[in-house]
Amino acid sequence: MNGKTVYAKTAAGQQEIGERKAGLDIRQRRLLILVDGHRSVDELRQVSGLQDALALLESLQAKGLVSPVAGAAPAPAPGPAPAAAAAASGPAPAAAAGGDLRDRRRRAAHAVNEMLGPMGEDLALRLEEAKSEDVLEQLLERARTVIGDVRGKAALARFEQLLVED
């Protein structure tokens, strides 16, 4: 594996997020949370600040918590999809973005990870575990507040864009 490899959580990895049974240390857990099936090892290293991200990912893979995404290129550079999302009239409410609850939770956690990195770990976990649309919406409002406070109001447009991107 190399810095261009993209990893995704396995079913066991998704389960580990909620159950904490694999005995991961804080660095492994942080990286597992950030794994989204879109970011390359190099991007995960940059976002997490963990210089040994590749070794940590390989240990997570050995535990069956992540696996390389077959045929995945590094995370795509912004192209037509973000432009199309931005062309939509204003930030779309998350519910209007469509998708089932599981998909919306995944996108929301990815967006929080993208915007806040390790600082948003707790919020990303809560988003991934949201049991209903109402809970998800409350957590999304909290995410918007935190992102606005930490990254500035201009970052909110990017957050909304991430909520509707695949």
pLDDT of residue 61: 94
Which of 7-16, 17-26, 97-106 shows the lowest per-residue confidence on average (mean pLDDT)? 97-106
Alpha helices in the chain (DSSP H): 11-19, 26-34, 41-48, 53-62, 80-87, 101-116, 121-128, 133-151, 155-164
User: Does the pLDDT value for residue 97 go beyond 90?
Assistant: no
Which pLDDT band, with edges at 50, 70 and 90, does 99 fall under? low
The two three-digit tokens of residue 16, written as one number: 């580990």
Bridge partner list, 9: 66
For 19, phi then psi, to 5°, come to: -105, -20
Comparing CA positions, the residue from 95, 64, 92, 75 lying closest to residue 166 is 75
CB atoms within 10 A of CB 15: 14
Which pLDDT band, with edges at 50, 70 and 90, does 74 fall under? very low
Q: How far is CA 152 from the centre of its chain?
A: 20
Q: What percent of the chain has pLDDT over 90?
A: 17
Question: What's the predicted TM-score (pTM) here?
Answer: 0.49
User: Does the pLDDT value for residue 21 go beyond 80?
Assistant: yes
pLDDT, tens digit (0-9, with 9 covering 90-100), for 114-146: 888 888 888 888 888 888 888 888 999 988 888
Residue ranges per structural domain of the chain: 7-68, 80-164
